[in-house]
Amino acid sequence: MKSFRLLKPTALLGVGILLATIGPSLGSSHREAPLISEDPVADNTDTYAFVSPDNPNTVTLVANWIPLEEPAGGPNFHKFGDDVLYQIHVDNDGDAVPDISYEWRFTTQVQNSNTFLYNTGPITSLTDPDFNVRQTYSLAVVRNGQRTVLGSGIPTPPVNIGPRSTPNYDALAAAAVKTIGNVKTFAGQRDDPFFVDLGSVFDLAGLRPLNGAHVIPRSAANGVDGVGGYNTHTIAIQVPTSELILPGQPIIGVYAQTKRLQVRVLQPGLPGAPPRQQGNWINVSRLGMPLVNEVVIPLGQKDKFNNSEPVNDGQFASFVLDPEPARLIPILYPGVSVPPAPRNDIATIFLTGIPGLNQPPNVKASEMIRLNTSIAPTAAAGAGNRLGILAGDNAGFPNGRRLEDDVTDIELRALAGATPFTPSFNISPNNILGDGVDRNDRPFLTTFPYVPAPHQGYDHAHHRVGP
């Protein structure tokens, strides 16, 4: 009987349990600070890249932070980290090194220092004096090492609290969509656009529609969206394609990164010298394709992966070529067989892009979303075929990633070998694997920022049932 480690991307022990602090009045009791702590504002949950359907000369890049953000978040409502550098990188020549990087830095200001309340009355505009805890941001772009600030003091909308605090939420959010030159930008709370049956997939990889095929069978049922009813914090930017690509080469690699300033524990010189930051940024997380870190990179390597740069991803190649979850499928679903290692197909999909579709010339293998900007959108925003390439929709995942792409089902099937790369495995049930949750709980917007409005704290529900 095999036993499998539970893979966790950020913390070894993966449980946000606070640990004791013994009061110092007995002075000597040892100081215990929390060890295993969540870091949600630096926890990049999803990254998306797609040609904007309503504006096809532009590309939209979206990245989300703060997983499973509870809409009723008071009294300390969620926001971005003021001490964090948020980045979305674009590699336009396939050498695994960013060529263009967009950067966001946030600052929180409390308007009325006599209160820590988020709002002291209904928030009717972004400059309403009742909007007490405000977060603004600066947006910069780095090209060839040159950094240009595009704008600063850009507002974020308040979180969606309720009918008394944020009575006309859509107007507030719309006011936070800014156009700076030829770039559109938005940062703030949104509905988490991801959709998956969390409850079932964590119950020994249960897939409710396929409950009968599991090694512990149950009767078939509809999927339940475990992310339904939760929010997230979204950064979105829309950029003319011509600003991102090199002439004659339309394929870009995209990934997000999150960084914090390096800290020097002790200052040289006298005690009491004012603390200084080191000045370097430490990588805290990175995310391109919704798979590689979580599934492929083993537990002990996750901090290493998060700290690393794509140009060094060769060091993780062996894990990609023999991903552990692929080996689990035949055990949990008896009778289902998957292609044997080495899984060059997985490496192609996730590390280089697919030849003839989204593989740049002379590509250096590295984990990124690869988007062929010359492939036109096939549908209005949010209306593409959820199975993307697997259903013949070449504007879909893994060519870029749109909000509506069902990456859960697509990746399950890819792991099981149900792709044109491995035709003998492109059969039932490999090619019908799915969690039964096929769409987001809220419809996507047809215009920027495309991610739907956030659920309201006062009135929301979780875990929508059904496809």
Partner 1 sequence: MAAVLVVAAVVGVLLGRFVTAGRDGPSVARAPAAAGLPAEARVAALQARLSARPDDPAALTELAVAYLGRVRETADPAYYAKAAKAVERSLALDPSSPATMTAAGLLALGRHDFPAALDWGLKAHAAVPDAADPLGVVVDAYVELGRYPEAVEAAQQMVDRRPSLASLARASYLRELHGDRPGAIAAMRQAITAGAGNGADVATVEVLLGDLLLGSGELGAARGAYQRSLERAPALGTAEVGLARVAAAEGDLAGAVTRLEPVVERLPQASSAALLGDVYAALGRTAEAATQYELVRAIEQLNRAGGVAVDLELARFEADQRSPDAVALAEAALAARPTVYAEDALGWALRQAGRASEALPRARAAVRLGTADALLWYHLAAVEADLGLAESARSHLRTAFDLNPTLTVRDLPPARALAHALGMSP
426-445 residues in contact with partner 1 (CB under 8 A) are 435
* Binds partner 1 by CB under 8 A, chosen from 128, 203, 322, 438: 203
| Shortest distance in whole angstroms from residue 146 CB to partner 1 | 27
Give phi and psi for 86, each to the nearest 5. Answer: -100, 130
Stretch in the footprint of partner 1 (CB under 8 A) among 1-9, 158-166, 175-183, 237-245: 1-9
Taking the least distance from each CB to partner 1, the nearer of 302 and 370 is 302
Among residue numbers 358 through 417, which ones bind partner 1 (CB under 8 A)? 408, 411-412, 415
Stretch in the footprint of partner 1 (CB under 8 A) among 52-60, 71-79, 390-398, 422-430: 71-79
Give phi and psi for 119, each to the nearest 5. Answer: -145, 145
Q: Is residue 411 within 8 Å of 90, Cβ to Cβ? A: no
Q: Is 279 in the site for partner 1 (CB under 8 A)?
A: no
In sequence order, the β-bridge partners of residue 51 are 59
Among residue numbers 101 through 130, which ones bind partner 1 (CB under 8 A)? 116
Taking the least distance from each CB to partner 1, the nearer of 285 and 373 is 285
* Binds partner 1 by CB under 8 A, chosen from 141, 205, 245, 320: 205
| Shortest distance in whole angstroms from residue 7 CB to partner 1 | 5
Among residue numbers 211 through 240, which ones bind partner 1 (CB under 8 A)? 215-216, 224, 226
In sequence order, the β-bridge partners of residue 191 are 231
Full 3-state SS string of the chain = CCCCCCCCCCCCCCCCCCCCCCCHHHCCCCCCCCCCCCCHHHCEEEEEEEECCCCCCEEEEEEEEEEEECCCCCCCCCCCCCCEEEEEEEECCCCCCCCEEEEEEEEEEECCCCCCCCECCCCCCCCCCCECEEEEEEEEEEECCEEEEEEEEEECCCCCCCCCCCCCHHHHHHHCCEEECCEEEEEEEEECCCCCCHHHHCCCCCCHHHHHHCCCCCCCCCCECCCCCCEEEEEEEEEEHHHHCECCECEEEEEEEEEEEEECCCCCCCCCCCCCEEEEEEEEEEECCCCHHHHHCCHHHHHHHHHCCHHHHHHHHHHHHCCHHHHHHHHHCCCCCCCCCCCHHHHHHHHHCCCCCCCCCCCCCCCCEEEECCCCCCCCCCCCCCCHHHHCCCCCCCECECCCCCHHHHHHHHHCCCCCCCHHHCCCCHHHCCCCCCCCCCCCCCCCCCCCCCCCCCCCCCCCECC
| Shortest distance in whole angstroms from residue 201 CB to partner 1 | 4
Q: Show the binding pattern over residues 21-50: x = contacts partner 1 (CB under 8 A), - = does not.
A: xxxxxxxxxxxxxxxxxxxxxxx-xx----
Stretch in the footprint of partner 1 (CB under 8 A) among 161-169, 178-186, 268-276, 440-448: 268-276
Taking the least distance from each CB to partner 1, the nearer of 58 and 166 is 166
| Shortest distance in whole angstroms from residue 91 CB to partner 1 | 22
Q: Is 454 in the site for partner 1 (CB under 8 A)?
A: no
Taking the least distance from each CB to partner 1, the nearer of 57 and 202 is 202
In whole angstroms, what is the distance from residue 155 CA to residue 336 CA?
51
Among residue numbers 72 through 91, which ones bind partner 1 (CB under 8 A)? 72-76, 78-79, 81-83
Taking the least distance from each CB to partner 1, the nearer of 185 and 283 is 283
Count of residues that bind partner 1 according to CB under 8 A: 115
Taking the least distance from each CB to partner 1, the nearer of 266 and 362 is 266
| Shortest distance in whole angstroms from residue 245 CB to partner 1 | 29
Amino acid at 412: L
Taking the least distance from each CB to partner 1, the nearer of 82 and 170 is 82
Stretch in the footprint of partner 1 (CB under 8 A) among 296-304, 341-349, 369-377, 386-394: 296-304
| Shortest distance in whole angstroms from residue 138 CB to partner 1 | 17
Amino acid at 185: T
| Contact partners, residue 201, CB within 8 Å, separation at least 6 | 207, 408, 435
Taking the least distance from each CB to partner 1, the nearer of 56 and 217 is 217
* Binds partner 1 by CB under 8 A, chosen from 248, 268, 271, 279: 271
Among residue numbers 156 through 195, which ones bind partner 1 (CB under 8 A)? none
Q: Is 304 in the site for partner 1 (CB under 8 A)?
A: yes
Among residue numbers 315 through 344, which ones bind partner 1 (CB under 8 A)? 324-325, 328-329, 331-332
Taking the least distance from each CB to partner 1, the nearer of 42 and 371 is 42
| Shortest distance in whole angstroms from residue 50 CB to partner 1 | 20
